[in-house]
Amino acid sequence: MRQATARALAEFPQDLAPGIYAVTFRIDSVDQDPRFPYLAIGYNTDLEVARLLAESSALEPWEARWNYAYFPPSGLEGVRTVGADREHDPVGAELHRREAEAQGLWYEDADSLPEHEQDERGERLDEQFHELCVDLARQLHSDDRIVTGLGRPLPVILYDMFDPDGMFTLTRDANPADLVAEFLTQDPEGGAW
């Protein structure tokens, strides 16, 4: 996933780089099946925020800038999908499956595994993928990949549309504090570090 993420950053349009203010990580899964998680890597721009605010006087600036509901396709769907999505990342899907099998978490639909056991395994797979995405964002910061690709440090905003409040914890855990201070002003938990 590190290699694919580095390639995705290189695919961000260089003419937009000065206006890109955040890298986005949308965490999802194919058909909401925790066995097939993926990460859509994208970005958002100051130009997009200005457009949104010009179109709606009712929209709050924080919402326009940080709420994924207002992200353009580059921030919501991303420029590249990596992970256990067989269609977009067959290599990643196979690696993920092997790791899940090695940990005893994989199961097939045809298995006679009780539903509660499937749910427990699914929760653990989901937790591990979220942790992987946080670690991946941290790695982008520590390796200076964002600075190299976009010219300056930028926050990585992590979100899972099925766990809206989780985005604050994920993003806080993945970034240096100074990069996400503005984002965390709307954290229901108070943004405490």
pLDDT in tens, 59-105: 999 999 999 999 999 999 999 999 888 888 888 889 999 999 999 99
Q: How far apart are CA 78 and CA 155, in angstroms?
A: 15
Count CA within 13 A, CB hemisphere, residue 48: 24
- Give percent of the chain with pLDDT exceeding 90: 80
pLDDT in tens, 8-52: 999 999 999 999 999 999 999 999 999 999 999 999 999 999 999
Q: How far apart are CA 22 and CA 161, in angstroms?
A: 17
Give residue 193's pLDDT band: very low, low, confident or very high (50, 70, 90). Answer: very low
